[in-house]
């Protein structure tokens, strides 16, 4: 019973979100989600008849990452829920949204298995997994061009691996569903089994994905570099630091990517899918050429409402804000501070530092809803993965580890015109000191990019660091996992036992 409304309908699961997403011309009402209409059903046997069908099936997976705003959830996986959870359930963000107790609970670690935001995340991810299973099953047996088939299988495998990586990190043991026609009440799989499947899927992706796509064709699509970097992240999480370092080094040695000289350039809409973008979640509609993307909500949630004085009509709600302690961690001359935060408007100083990094004032001067992509993997993360993995593997930093982290720090010294005398190159650190330095560098580099909770859990720092930013808020040992949603357990007792502490 992975999802309340449609897992009860086995026939509907087979065609799941392929109706009404990528141009089939078939749209269901809310009632249509709960009952079958034989005239509108799409099955593998009658769907995968040509290349456009196969591409559409893979596009339906991507669509679930960004858009698909219909009940019972709002937006796709990375639309808002994902990065809000990671920010609030850490030392990164506080909640300022009135009438949002579920987000208050995340920010204060008082959530339980009934939290709707945690349930929302579970639902969204499994939707994408069902779409991936449908695509992989149908494309594998289709009679389309073999080179296109291989690429599409690589994309779908990457996306399924990505979704299971999110699930296993957030919820621990979860059902591992890799067949399109799965059991209605699946049992939980072991952590090892889930990671084995993730690694296998990424192996398929690495073997079949291109380094790049033709100009204009690949925005938001998975590449070889994205698969390699995701596998590096997987190995880092599982403690295989040697393999993590090897994967990251392969991406660096490929010379496909580079850092923009100015940190600000990484968030310019005109640079999306540019040299620093390893994998973006696309928003907007690519100038009308893609029908399933929609605008993102980064600026709606993060920019302060006080901006309405300066930008009339701006849709800025300021629902989530940075912790003061996060802002205070930045050297004033660190370029990332000025680009990441806004602390005042023409009306005066703000009560909290707000996060403004996604607002490209040149291309979207009115702010609010944005076509800015969500930067799931930027090239700077590849360097920091390498630095962390080498330090862990060798129980102390190597010359290559120093070079990796210092590469990121050097870029942060550049103020857009000149290099400032801040953030000196690191040297002479112990294993623990370098480990803390990497964690701090990741904190400054990836504000509001959905990484902080994962980083604190991976480095066993959640209970130590959160109370510093949020006095009186003390995560417990069991907060290294989120609870399995109660609605799912009510429908499927095979999801028991519940995660410890909930």
Instruction: Note the pLDDT of residue 38.
Output: 38
80-107 pLDDT tens trace = 899 999 999 999 999 999 999 999 999 9
Residue 74: what pLDDT?
A: 62
pLDDT above 90: percentage of residues in the chain = 78
Share of the chain above pLDDT 70, in %: 87
Residue 474, pLDDT above cutoff 90: yes
pTM: 0.91
The pLDDT, as a whole number, for residue 432 is: 98
- Nearest CA to 165 out of 500, 374, 405, 458 is that of 458
Interval 160-186 mean pLDDT: 92
Neighbours of 474 (CB within 10 A): 12
290-317 pLDDT, tens digit each: 555 677 889 999 999 999 999 998 999 9
Q: Which of 81, 69, 52 is nearest to 17 (CA)?
A: 69
Short-list 144, 156, 276, 126, CA closest to 222: 156
93-95 vs 320-322, strand pairing mode = antiparallel
Task: Output the CA angle 118-121-122, nearest 5 degrees.
Answer: 90
Residue 19 pLDDT: 33
R_g of the chain, CA atoms, integer Å: 22
pLDDT at residue 163 above 70?
yes
Burial of 25 (0-12, 13-18, 19+ CB in 10 A): exposed
| 208-251 pLDDT tens trace | 999 998 876 667 899 999 999 999 999 999 999 999 999 999 99
Overall average pLDDT of the 387-391 stretch: 98
Q: What are the tens digits of pLDDT across the range 184-220?
A: 889 999 999 999 999 999 999 999 999 998 876 667 8
Residue 388: CA count within 13 A, CB half-sphere: 27
Run of H or E residues at 277: strand 277-281
Bridge partners for 449 per DSSP: none
Q: What is the residue-averaged pLDDT of the chain?
A: 88
Closest CA to 480 of 237, 230, 171, 239: 171
- Split at pLDDT 50, 70, 90, the class of 13 is very low
pLDDT at 345 over 60: yes
Residue 21: predicted pLDDT? 35
Q: From CA 250, how far away is CA 50, in angstroms rounded?
A: 35
SS3 77: coil
What contacts 470, CB < 8 A, 6 or more positions away? Answer: 91, 94, 107, 108, 323
Q: Is 290 left (phi over 0), alpha (psi -120 to 50) or beta?
A: beta
* Nearest one of 423, 217, 216, 401 to 335, comparing CA atoms: 423
Burial of 325 (0-12, 13-18, 19+ CB in 10 A): middle
pLDDT digits (tens, 9 = 90+) for 142-152: 989 999 999 99
Q: What is the arithmetic mean of pLDDT over 256-275?
A: 95
- Residues 402-459: tens digit of each pLDDT: 999 999 999 999 999 999 999 999 999 999 999 999 999 999 999 999 999 999 999 9
pLDDT tens for 328-341 read 999 999 999 999 99
Q: Can you name the residues that pair with 321 across neighbouring β-strands?
A: 94
To the nearest 10°, report the CA torsion of 272, 275, 279, 280: -10
Q: Look at residue 26 in the predicted model and tell me its pLDDT.
A: 24
Residues 222, 278 contacting (CB under 8 angstroms): no
* Residues belonging to the chain: 502
CA distance 387 to 120: 34
**Structure confidence at residue 3 as a pLDDT band (50, 70, 90):** very low
172, 449, 363, 264 alpha-carbon torsion, rounded to 10°: -150
């Amino acid at each position: 019973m992975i999802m309340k409304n449609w897992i009860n309908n086995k026939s509907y699961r087979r065609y799941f979100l392929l109706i009404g997403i990528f141009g089939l011309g078939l749209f269901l009402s809310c009632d249509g989600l709960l009952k079958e209409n034989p005239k509108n059903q799409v099955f593998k046997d009658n769907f995968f008849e040509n290349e456009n069908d196969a591409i559409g099936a893979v596009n339906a997976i991507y669509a679930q990452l960004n858009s698909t705003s219909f009940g019972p959830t709002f937006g796709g996986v990375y639309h808002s829920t994902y990065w809000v959870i990671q920010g609030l359930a850490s030392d990164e963000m506080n909640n300022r949204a009135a009438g949002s107790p579920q987000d208050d609970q995340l920010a204060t670690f008082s959530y339980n298995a009934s939290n709707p935001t945690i349930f929302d995340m579970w639902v969204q991810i499994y939707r994408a997994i069902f779409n991936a299973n449908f695509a992989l099953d149908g494309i594998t047996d289709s009679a389309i061009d073999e080179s296109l088939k291989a690429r599409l299988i690589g994309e779908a495998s990457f996306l399924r691996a990505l979704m299971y990586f999110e699930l296993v990190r957030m919820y621990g043991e979860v059902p591992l569903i890799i067949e399109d026609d799965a059991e209605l009440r699946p049992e939980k799989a072991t952590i090892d089994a889930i990671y084995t499947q993730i690694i296998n899927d990424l192996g398929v992706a690495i073997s079949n994905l291109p380094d790049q796509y033709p100009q204009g064709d690949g925005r938001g699509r998975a590449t070889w570099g994205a698969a390699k970097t995701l596998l590096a992240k997987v190995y880092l999480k599982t403690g295989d630091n040697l393999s993590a370092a090897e994967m990251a080094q392969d991406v660096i040695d490929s010379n496909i990517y580079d850092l923009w000289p100015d940190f600000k350039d990484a968030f310019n809409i005109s640079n999306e899918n540019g040299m620093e973008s390893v994998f973006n979640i696309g928003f907007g509609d690519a100038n009308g050429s893609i029908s399933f993307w929609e605008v993102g909500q980064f600026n709606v949630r993060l920019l302060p409402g006080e901006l309405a004085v300066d930008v009339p009509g701006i849709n800025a709600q300021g629902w989530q804000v940075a912790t003061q302690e996060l802002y205070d961690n930045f050297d004033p001359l660190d370029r990332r501070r000025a680009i990441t935060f806004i602390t005042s408007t023409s009306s005066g100083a703000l009560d909290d530092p707000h996060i403004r990094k996604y607002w490209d004032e040149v291309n979207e001067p009115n702010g609010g809803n944005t076509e800015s992509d969500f930067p799931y993997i930027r090239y700077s993360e590849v360097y920091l993965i390498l630095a962390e993995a080498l330090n862990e593997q060798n129980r102390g930093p190597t010359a290559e580890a120093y070079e990796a982290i210092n590469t990121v720090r050097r870029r942060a010294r550049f103020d857009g015109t000149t290099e400032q005398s801040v953030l000196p190159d690191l040297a002479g650190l112990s294993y623990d000191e370098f480990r803390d330095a990497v964690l701090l560098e990741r904190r400054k580099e990836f504000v509001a990019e959905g990484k902080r909770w994962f980083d604190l859990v991976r480095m066993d720092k959640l209970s130590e660091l959160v109370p510093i930013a949020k006095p009186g808020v003390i995560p417990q040992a069991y907060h290294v996992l989120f609870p399995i949603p109660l609605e799912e357990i009510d429908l499927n007792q095979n999801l028991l036992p519940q995660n410890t502490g909930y």
